[in-house]
Amino acid sequence: MTVYAIIGGSGLADLEDLRNRKSISINTPYGEPSGDIYIGDYGGREVMFLSRHGEPHRYAPHQVNYRANVWALKETGADSILAFNAVGGINHAMGAGKFCVPHDLIDYTYCRQQTFFDKDLDKVTHIDFSKPYTNELRIRLITALAAEGFDFSARGVYGCTQGPRLETAAEIIRMERDGCDIVGMTGMPEAALARELELEYACLALVVNPAAGKSSSEISMAEIESVLQVGVSNAKAVLVRLIGSDLR
C-alpha cells in the first residue's frame, strides 16, 4: 500500500485527527527537518505528517530545510507526498477560498538548496521535470475535491517566489504574462527534491488572498487568517477522503 506523507503549510501545522500517533525525530545528512515526523492512523491507514514551517511556526519560506524534510520523509518510508500550500490568486478565476491542483510551476526562487545531487557525484544527474507534479496523484486529489463538493480548479501554474515579502504589483503582472495562475513561496525546491528521490508529489493549493495589485485594497493578514480557517478544515476533509478511498 502507498505510504502517504502530508506536508502541512501555513494554517496546517497539525493534523488533530492523526490517531495513535508517534513522533519520530530524525537527523539527516542535510541537517534537521522542520520538526518531528508524526505517524498515525488517518483515514483508516498509516500516514505521516510534517509541518513545513515547524511547530510553532519557526521557519520562513526561504529558511525551510526542504532537503532535510523530503529526505526524512523518504527515509521514514513515505512513497507519496501530498503538499498543502496557501497561495495568492493571480488568474481572476482563482478567488479566495478556492482550491487549485497545479499541473505545472515556474520557479522564481534563488539561493535555496535545490538538489540532492551536488556532492560525491559519479555522474551528473538531470531529472526529467517537464511535468513537476505526479499526474496520478493529482487525479486522486481532484477526485477527492469533487467528491467533497468544494470549489476547485483542476489545473494551474504555480509561480514560486522567494519571499518572505509579498510581491509587487508589477511582479505579479510579469508572473501573469509568464502564465502563472497562483503564487506561493514554498512549492520549490520541494517538488523537485521529491522527484529526485522518486517520490510521488502533488500540491493542494488553497487561495487565501488576491495576489498583489489584484484587488483595490492591500493584502490583509486578518483576511488571510479567516480564509485559512475554513480552507484548512476543508483541505483536511479532502485529504482524509483521498487517503481513505485509496486502496492501493
- What minimum distance in Å lies between the beta carbon of 33 and ligand HPA? 21
| Residue number closest to ligand HPA, CB atom | 88
Q: Is 210 annotated as a binding residue?
A: yes
Site size toward ligand HPA (CB under 6 A) is 12
CA of residue 160 relative to chain centroid, distance: 11
State yes or no: residue 88 binds ligand HPA (CB under 6 A).
yes
Footprint of ligand HPA on residues 182-201 (CB under 6 A)?
A: 183-185
State yes or no: residue 211 binds ligand HPA (CB under 6 A).
yes
Sign of the CA dihedral running 183, 184, 187, 189 = positive
Longest dimension (CA), the chain: 54
Binding mask 143-172 toward ligand HPA (x if CB under 6 A, else -) reads ------------------x----xx-----
Q: What residues contact 84, with CB distance under 8 A and at least 6 apart?
A: 6, 7, 8, 9, 12, 203, 204, 206, 232, 235, 239
Q: Is 53 annotated as a binding residue?
A: yes
Taking the C-alpha atoms of residue 233 and residue 240, their distance in angstroms, rounded to an integer, is 11
- Single out the segment in contact with ligand HPA by CB under 6 A; choices: 81-89, 91-99, 139-147, 194-202: 81-89
State yes or no: residue 90 binds ligand HPA (CB under 6 A).
no
User: Which residue in 45, 44, 52 sits closest to 6, CA to CA?
Assistant: 52
- Is residue 82 a contact partner of residue 137, using CB atoms and an 8 Å limit? yes
Could you list the residues known to form a binding site for phosphate, using ranges: 10, 52-53, 186
Q: Which residues bind ligand HPA (CB under 6 A)?
A: 86-88, 161, 166-167, 183-185, 208-209, 211
